[in-house]
Amino acid sequence: MKLLYQTHSPYARKVLVAAHELGLQQRIEVIHHDTSPTRRNDEVFALNPLGKVPVLIVDDGLALFDSNVICEYLDGLHAGAKLIPHEHGARFRALRRQALAQGMADAGIAARWEAERRPAPSRWPPMLQGQLDKIAAACDFLEQEIGDAPRTETLPDVGDIALATALSWIAFRDVYPFADGRPRLSAWYARFSQRPSMQATTLAGDTLD
Per-residue tens of pLDDT for the chain, all 209 residues: 999 999 999 999 999 999 999 999 999 999 999 999 998 999 999 999 999 999 999 999 999 999 999 999 999 999 999 999 999 999 999 999 999 999 999 999 999 999 999 999 999 999 999 999 999 999 999 999 999 999 988 999 999 999 999 999 999 999 999 999 999 999 999 999 999 999 999 999 988 77
Q: Which helix (H) or strand (E) holds 199?
A: helix 196-199
pLDDT at 207: 85
Angle between helix 125-145 and 88-112 (nearest 10): 150
What is the per-residue burial (b if ≥16 Cβ within 10 Å, else e) of 98-131? bebbbebbbbbbbbbbbbeeeeeeeeeeeebeeb
- Separation CA 172–CA 92 (nearest Å): 29
pLDDT at 208: 78
User: Over 115-144, what HEC string results?
Assistant: HHHCCHHHCCHHHHHHHHHHHHHHHHHHHH
Residue among 127, 144, 124, 136 at smallest CA distance from 177: 136
Domain ranges of the chain: 2-75, 88-195
- Separation CA 170–CA 196 (nearest Å): 20
- Separation CA 94–CA 14 (nearest Å): 14
Residue among 105, 93, 96, 91 at smallest CA distance from 54: 105
pLDDT at 97: 98
- Number of DSSP helices (H) and strands (E) in the chain, helices first: 8, 4
- Separation CA 82–CA 103 (nearest Å): 23
- Separation CA 95–CA 84 (nearest Å): 8
- Cβ-based neighbours of 41, under 8 Å, separated by 6 or more: 33, 34, 35, 51
Under CATH, to which class is 88-195 assigned?
A: mainly alpha
Q: Amino acid identity, residue 150?
A: P
Assign domain 2-75 to its CATH architecture. 3-Layer(aba) Sandwich (3.40)
- Separation CA 87–CA 127 (nearest Å): 39
pTM exceeding 0.85: yes
Measured between alpha carbons, how far is residue 61 from residues 45, 50, 64 in Å? 16, 18, 9
- Separation CA 160–CA 181 (nearest Å): 21
